[in-house]
Chain A
Amino acid sequence: NAGVTQTPKFRILKIGQSMTLQCTQDMNHNYMYWYRQDPGMGLKLIYYSVGAGITDKGEVPNGYNVSRSTTEDFPLRLELAAPSQTSVYFCASRPGTSGSSYEQYFGPGTRLTVT
């Protein structure tokens, strides 16, 4: 299993441009999450999904959109990039209600710079 994969690894955007951060997991997990991590600020939840077709906002959703058409994929869309969206973005997934823990499995991250 590849686990959680994210593309691209790095990206530089100009202000006002749009892009989609891709996230795919091959563990058949129901729950998927998008976080951003700013230096010294921990992880902030942007959006999450409890299954295909179901998404909801997290703590910092403004400026972002998501969709979940399949169990495997959970893309994050930035419509009008702003410098405040410069960050490292992590996608994570976890199994459903069964299982031993609340462990979330993280991808390697996408480093985004908006200038």
Chain B
Amino acid sequence: QKEVEQDPGPLSVPEGAIVSLNCTYSNSAFQYFMWYRQYSRKGPELLMYTYSSGNKEDGRFTAQVDKSSKYISLFIRDSQPSDSATYLCAMSPSAAYSGAGSYQLTFGKGTKLSVIP
């Protein structure tokens, strides 16, 4: 089983739809959970960041972490064509667990999202 599983899609939705993106993971040591957005031919940029379990909301975006199920989600409300991108989940264990503090991230494969006007 891979450490982080993410459905690569592609996912195509109409403008205004609610989008749900998900990742599952197997490493119980992961404490930090991130969603990166990557536009075509660009580098990834951080979209949302959550520590441990719970929800975090930022405008139209909501990140959820369920550590008991080892499952994280990103919800996009009122999706816009400008949201069309690849969304990568990323995770990291705590600094204490990673020893030298390399703060390495383990990424999912990314889900390609297209929002159709």
Contacts and interface: CB of A to CB of B under 8 A. Distances in A.
B8 A50 contact: no
| A-side interface size class | 20 to 34
Given A31-B103, A50-B100, A56-B102, A109 B88 contact: no
A33 B88 CA distance: 17
B63 interface: no
Interface residues of B, number: 25
B37 to A, nearest CB: 11
Interface SS, B side: loop
Interface in B36-56: 41-46, 49
A40 B44 contact: no
Interface string A44-68: 0100101000001010000000000
Contact of A90 (B8, B44, B95, B110): B44
B103 A94 contact: yes
Contacts of B77: none
A104 to B, nearest CB: 6
A42 B104 CA distance: 14
Interface of A: 4, 31, 33, 40-43, 45, 48, 50, 56, 58, 90, 92, 94, 97, 101-104, 106-109
Nearest to B44: A106
Contacts of B92: 102
